[in-house]
Amino acid sequence: MRAQTTPVVALIALFAVCTGVSLYATTLDSTMPTETDDALADPTLDRIHDVVSTGGVVDPVALIGASDVAPDGYRVAVAVTTERGRWTNGRRPPRGERSGVDRATRPVSVASGEGDVIWGRLTVWVWR
């Protein structure tokens, strides 16, 4: 009966190995970064929406003040796009996969020159 183990001892050893692997995976997951450094577009979009809208309706003329809410050390470009036109403020963001540009967009109500309110999209690009 040498070199034999009881099932209880084998189950305890298996439990110890599984617990160790689980603790390692949990620790490794908590040390890995969860978001990139350039994940600033969503909060910047919220701030810009507050600046360029009145009563929830975006005024394309108010895009002039959008660059004032850029995060420190970052550049911002803003665009409002509707079926009747496109209004922009800021420089064109760099292109390419490694450009470090973060982008966020949301549907908005847009005031038109004729006094109508139409649907459009507010888009923000943030980069260094």
Write the pLDDT tens digit of every residue in 100-114: 889 999 999 999 877
The yes-or-no verdict on residue 53 having pLDDT over 80 is: yes
pLDDT number for residue 36? 46
pLDDT number for residue 34? 46
pLDDT number for residue 31? 63
The overall pTM is greater than 0.75: no
Write the pLDDT tens digit of every residue in 17-47: 888 777 777 776 666 544 444 478 999 999 9
CA distance 77 to 56: 20
Write the pLDDT tens digit of every residue in 62-98: 999 887 888 888 999 999 999 989 999 988 888 866 6
Structure tokens that stand for 23 in this block? 């603790």
Q: What is the edge-to-edge ordering of all strands in the sheet holding 75-82?
A: 53-54, 57-58, 102-111, 117-127, 75-82, 85-89
Better-scored residue on pLDDT, 54 or 37: 54
Burial class (CB in 10 A: 0-12, 13-18, 19+), 14: exposed
Q: How confident is the model at residue 13 (pLDDT cuts 50, 70, 90)?
A: confident
